[in-house]
Amino acid sequence: MTQVIACTTQEGIVLATDSLATWFDPIGGMRHFNLKKILRLGSHAAMVSAGMGIGVEMGLAFQRFLQGESVEGIEEMARFAMPFFTDLYGKHLRREGVENPSSQGMARDPEECSPLSGVYLILAGYSFKNRHQPYHLHLLGNEEDGISIKIYPTSHIILIPRSLSMERKLETLCKGGSSLNGILSLCKSFLKKRSDDEEVGPPFYFATITSAGFREIMEKEVGG
């Protein structure tokens, strides 16, 4: 499974994830390994993947594409993202012979978890054009038919899987004008608590995006 947190404030964007990933061996046995799920896309942008492990591979491919095209702005990245990921994901499914991809990596608690399943990608970045709303989050995922990628409507807080209690805590901090450090501390505490679940585990990864750019933050730098 994956636990992903993305949150925008007046000060910037906070990203946080665990690193535990799952794969199945040829006889169906479940195996766990560690995987970094936050990818820097440019000086002021990043991507976080959740769900199926192909998300990280898709992110790396998108990272290379953006570098080749010299794309920096989050608006332009978002414009390229849907057709790029739809094409890549479709090729992956055809290569694997999969028609209806499973919901690997997504928990199913009816109170806490989103019904979304499959592969999910969060684009986060700073806008060089929109000074009134400079921090943007975009959530992309596969359609129910398992073939195409769509952009989901979202707020300034995204958790995958969802946790309504954590969303409320983040909302309270944001409305109260908390610093990014305060939000990072809450994210770290939440990830530690979630790691009691065998499908979420350390090391945890954190990053911020502000007007100064993308910054990856070591776990030991985060309080909580």
Average pLDDT of every residue of the chain: 85
The reported pLDDT for the residue numbered 23 is 53
Report pLDDT digits (tens) over 72-99. Answer: 889 999 999 999 999 998 888 888 775 5
C-alpha distances (whole Å) from 80 to each of 63, 140, 144, 151 are: 12, 12, 22, 12
In the chain the domains, ranked by start, together with CATH numbers, are 4-221 (3.60.20.10)
Partners of 215 in the beta sheet?
A: 208
- Classify burial at 82, counting beta carbons within 10 Å of its beta carbon; exposed 0-12, middle 13-18, buried 19 or more: middle
**pLDDT in the model for residue 104:** 40
Which pTM value belongs to this model?
A: 0.86
- In angstroms, the CA 31 to CA 4 distance is 20
Q: In this model, does residue 131 exceed pLDDT 50? A: yes
Least confident of 5-19, 48-62, 127-141, 176-190: 48-62
The H-or-E segment that residue 30 falls in is strand 30-34
Tell me what pLDDT residue 112 has: 44
The string of DSSP letters for 98-136 reads -SS---TT----TTTS-S--SEEEEEEEE-SS-SSS-EE
